[in-house]
Amino acid sequence: MVSASGKDASVWNQRSARRSSIVSHWGFVRSIECYPGFIDFSQVTNLAGALTRMLSGSFSNQAQAFENPPLYGNILVRIRPIIHLQAYSLLLEQAYAIAPNEPYRVRVLRPGYLEDGTLSILNFAIESPERFYGAVEDPARLAELAEADLRLLSGCTYWVDQTNGGFSGKVEPGCNCKVFRKGRDSYLLSEFELTPQTMQTIDRGYDPVTHEHLWGSIAGPFRFEKLCDWSQEVPASWN
């Protein structure tokens, strides 16, 4: 287990000091002191590393939510490297902006490659995820997360393509990403588009028998802007 004390904690604190508080008590984005990074794909030799860096950061759809509050909640998605786990591991916390440390989705994402060389993102659930609520901003608690806490979500791997300056991906075909929600079994269809400054996502759940749309977006994708870039925390060995 890697300790967050000493040098590691000092590095984290120095990096955290470069940004101010993102969300006020009422969920409004305040001024920030961190900036999105950029990736020169002409210099990239490892797409999994580039994808990991581009995902690393804090994202908000505040502008979209304020434009159309009946259809879009004000959501924060925070994705942080977990440097003591296997390469490319990222902690994802997704929460309403008014309660950023009470996430409704906590996952570990792990970019990499399938056996045929396809760029991918493995999707892991965390056992007793409430133990790690807010760990994306707490290095001591993040350091407690171990491989033994992770459970691979079968059928929920994202297949990823490189785009012009970014990436796009969708859950693997087969309708096998099972989700129990609102008292019913369903399967998830999920897609995303990612650039150094933005992320768009759309998640929808369907009945496994009738394929009826049960939950998820009815008005199109959520459009997030990157507030803080945490790619500098990705170890050089992952590049």
CATH number, domain with residue 217 = 2.40.128.590
Residue 17: the pLDDT is: 40
Q: What is the mean pLDDT of residues 100-124?
A: 96
DSSP E strands, 3-149 = 57-60, 75-81, 90-96, 105-113, 119-126
Number of separate domains in the chain: 1
Residue 36 binned pLDDT confidence (cut-offs 50, 70, 90): low
Average pLDDT estimate for 166-178: 97
Residue range of the domain that includes 111: 6-238
Q: Has residue 146 been placed in a domain?
A: yes
- Asked if the model's pLDDT at residue 45 lies above 50, the reply is yes
pTM of the model: 0.83
Contact 190, 203 (CB under 8 A): yes
Q: Is 71 left (phi over 0), alpha (psi -120 to 50) or beta?
A: alpha
pLDDT-derived band of residue 189, with 50, 70 and 90 as boundaries? Answer: very high
Contact 153, 124 (CB under 8 A): yes
> Does pLDDT of 197 surpass 60?
yes
Rounded distance, CA 191 to CA 26, Å?
A: 30
Query: Which amino acid appears at position 59 of this protein?
Result: F
Tokens (6 digits) for 178: 């099972």
Mean pLDDT of 192-201: 97
- SS3 of the chain: helix, strand, coil, percent, to 5: 20, 35, 45
**11-20, 44-53, 137-146, 179-188: which has the minimum mean pLDDT?**
11-20
Domain contains 230:
yes
Q: What is the pLDDT of residue 97?
A: 94
Place of tokens 């008005």: 219
pLDDT beyond 90 at 237: yes
Q: Using CA atoms, how far apart are residues 98 and 79, in angstroms rounded to an integer?
A: 18
Average pLDDT of every residue of the chain: 86
- Quick one: which H or E segment has residue 54? helix 47-55
1 part of a folded domain: no
Q: Which residue has the tokens 């759309």?
A: 202
Q: Is the dihedral of CA 200, 202, 203, 209 positive or negative?
A: negative
